[in-house]
Amino acid sequence: MNATGYFYYFILLLAATGALTLRIDVKEYDRQGLNKEKKLTRLLAWGNLILGASLFTADWAFQKWFW
């Protein structure tokens, strides 16, 4: 799964953008009263975090048991 060496950078980008989006954008949308944008941003940010964690776990399991 980690053929090129850039896979962990991708995972880091997913986690960082998810965390920063939750930290910065959601607060700003809440302050401005943009509820639909806040909900969608929260959904996408959690999606980034979950996808990053899932890919990290899958890569770890693949390397531990199959590689």
Backbone CA torsion sign across 27, 28, 29, 31: positive
Name, in order, each residue with C-beta under 8 angstroms of 12's C-beta and a sequence gap of 6 or more: 52
Q: Which of 64, 66, 22, 28 is nearest to 47 (CA)?
A: 22
Residue with tokens 């590689």: 67
pLDDT at 21: 96
Q: Would you list the domain boundaries of the chain? A: 7-65
pTM over 0.85: no
pLDDT at 67: 73
Name, in order, each residue with C-beta under 8 angstroms of 53's C-beta and a sequence gap of 6 or more: 15
Q: For 9-57, write each residue's pLDDT tens digit.
A: 999 999 999 999 999 999 999 999 999 999 999 999 999 999 999 999 9
What is the spatial distance between Cα 36 and Cα 17, in angstroms, rounded to a whole number?
Answer: 20
pLDDT at 1: 52
